Amino acid sequence: MANADKLTTRISTKGQIILPSTIRQRREWTAGTRLVVEETAEGVLLKPAPAFPETQPKDVFGSLPCKGKPKTLGEMDLGVLAEAKRHAGN
């Protein structure tokens, strides 16, 4: 956005701001969209909030039960290939 195209808004007495509709439409931010607010050296940054909390492998490791003997990498590759072919209709 060039300097001539910069948009302005005001803060209400309740501390609310209205984002210009052109920005909301371009970003597809509708009423109820959750935003993360970050203070940066350059100003305030708004980003869509993630739909799910961030997880690490240690958070989910062992979540799915395993029955039977573990599969080898080769067996897993064959299973993935078979499922891909099934979805492709081959």
What are the residue ranges of helices labelled H in the chain?
21-27, 57-60, 73-88
Q: What is the pLDDT along the chain (90 residues), one digit of tens a residue?
A: 555 578 899 999 999 999 999 999 999 999 999 999 999 999 999 999 998 888 888 887 777 777 888 889 999 999 999 999 998 876
- At residue 46, the 3 state secondary structure works out as strand
pTM (two decimals): 0.53
d(CA 88, CA 82) in angstroms, rounded, equals 10
| Domain ranges for the chain | 3-48
Region 3-48: CATH code: 2.10.260.10
